[in-house]
Chain A
Amino acid sequence: MQDPTYLILLALSDRPRHGYGILLEASELSRGTIRLGPGTLYGALERLEEAGHVELDREEIEEGRPRRYFRLTRRGRSLLVEETERREALVGLAKQRLAHR
């Protein structure tokens, strides 16, 4: 899983968010080091939605335009947990290796 996808899942892990909300949260989570573009975001959302990891939470009309909120599905959450464990294991290995030097 690439960083942008991981960040999107992570941004949705606490509560449903809309597109711009995900961008802001992802930027904050990565402390500004990763800045998602809108194209990347919706490309990833489509793939995640098709794979059943993310679903539509609700749709609101704001200023005459639709605003969709997305939430993590149970499958999405378990994918996020799995990926976090994988990343954690990798970081653990890296730390061990660096400590030996």
Chain B
Amino acid sequence: MSPLERRVRALISLFPASFRARWEEELVRTTLETCTAEQSWPHPRDAWDLVLSAIRAHATTPATEPFRLVLAQGIVLGAILLAGVRIGALLLRFGWFLRWLPANSAAGVPSEELALYAGPLALELAAYVLLAVALLHRRRVLLWTGALTLGAIGLLGTLRYPGPIGIRWALGMAVPGAIPFVMAACTMGTRKTERALAVRPALVGLALVSFAATAFRFAAWFATTTWHLVPGTIDRCATAVAALLLVACTVSGFADPRWFIALGVAVIGWNTRDFLQTSDPLVFLGTAVVVTVSWVHWRVLRRQAAGSGQGRSDREMA
């Protein structure tokens, strides 16, 4: 396989599995035909076209697989969304910390702050990088290194604040972080679930979502300080919007169920952290709404799947 073909295939692996089953070889062939013999990379315009088309295919390809696969894909996507949101938030917080540091270093760098704040943040970021690398290269060792890193961060919290606060802090740190790792481990463990299915959209999704999460955090901070809102208002509003979206999509049966299962998983995971750390009843309420709606959505899907025959796809039925 030429380097060009390898690169083209890597781009095409971004498409959903059902799409690739039908079109992959054709798409590879046609893309290669648009390249000249000297080219070792696809034309940027074609590469961009492939990426955009892949995202579009993910958003519009109906879930024709059996329901349990759809559910699994949704959960994996949700874990990926969650990891993306987490990375975005971490990057932003790390940026703030770096800006805050010079102003405070005149009186000597507060080493305790560094150990408490920057240390765990850097470790968690590193853990996510490890997760991505482990998934891409299918390296179990890296995966477990990442998981242990997250565990260590949790431990750090328990040591710093002994007693129930420390445990809460550690759980709040470990639970949302653990979800992507458990999912990743499961994806690697099962041979039936296609690795590409979970991992390739992940890379596109991660980049987009981290960017969006960073923008969201900034907007939330800006709105909170400008209009003197109670801290956390924007998060609650966002949870409410996500819950409403889920309701609307469940009721109307609109679009691919995978994305809504994913949204449910991401919102639940995200709020678990806040709830564990602050015990905020509103966060709990928001999470409860999302969990309920996701559950209803799941029931609807399950009934549909049962209606179209267990283990058989809609496409086969058609």
Binding site for B on A (CB under 8 A): 18-20, 23, 35, 37-43, 45-47, 65-68
- Would A42 and B26 be within 8 Å (CB), given that A20-B34, A37-B50, A37-B53 are in contact? yes
Q: Which interface class (under 10, 10 to 19, 20 to 34, 35 or more) fits B?
A: 20 to 34
Q: Are B49 and A38 in contact (CB under 8 A)?
A: yes
Q: How many A-B residue pairs have CB under 8 A?
A: 59
Q: List 18 A-B contacts (CB under 8 A).
A: A19-B26, A19-B27, A19-B29, A20-B29, A20-B34, A23-B30, A23-B34, A35-B45, A37-B50, A38-B50, A39-B27, A39-B52, A39-B53, A42-B30, A42-B53, A43-B53, A43-B56, A47-B60
**Bound-complex Cα distance A40 to B54 (A):** 9
**Dominant secondary structure at the A interface:** helix
**B1-45 interface (Cβ within 8 A of A):** 19, 22-23, 25-31, 33-34, 45
Q: List residues of chain B with CB within 8 A of the CB of A35.
A: 45
Closest to A59 in B: B26
B286 to chain A, nearest CB (A): 36
Q: List residues of chain B with CB within 8 A of the CB of A46.
A: 19, 22-23, 57
Q: List residues of chain B with CB within 8 A of the CB of A67.
A: 26, 29
Q: Are A40 and B53 in contact (CB under 8 A)?
A: yes
**Dominant secondary structure at the B interface:** helix
Whether B194 sits at the interface, judged by CB under 8 Å, is: no
B71 to chain A, nearest CB (A): 24
- Would A40 and B49 be within 8 Å (CB), given that A19-B26, A46-B19, A68-B26 are in contact? yes
Identify 15 new A-B residue pairs, CB closer than 8 A, beyond the known A37-B46, A41-B30: A20-B30, A23-B30, A37-B45, A37-B49, A38-B46, A38-B50, A39-B49, A39-B50, A39-B52, A42-B53, A43-B57, A45-B23, A46-B19, A47-B60, A66-B26
Q: Are A38 and B22 in contact (CB under 8 A)?
A: no
Q: List residues of chain A with CB within 8 A of the CB of B50.
A: 37-39
> How does the 8 Å CB contact mask read for B54-67 relative to A, with 1 for contact and 0 for none?
10110010000000
Q: Are B27 and A42 in contact (CB under 8 A)?
A: yes
**Bound-complex Cα distance A67 to B29 (A):** 8
Q: List residues of chain A with CB within 8 A of the CB of B60.
A: 47
Closest to B61 in A: A46
B192 to chain A, nearest CB (A): 24
Task: Name, among B26, B50, B52, the residue most crowded by chain A CB atoms within 10 Å (CB to CB).
Answer: B26
Q: Are A38 and B25 in contact (CB under 8 A)?
A: no
Q: Are B30 and A38 in contact (CB under 8 A)?
A: yes
A71 to chain B, nearest CB (A): 15
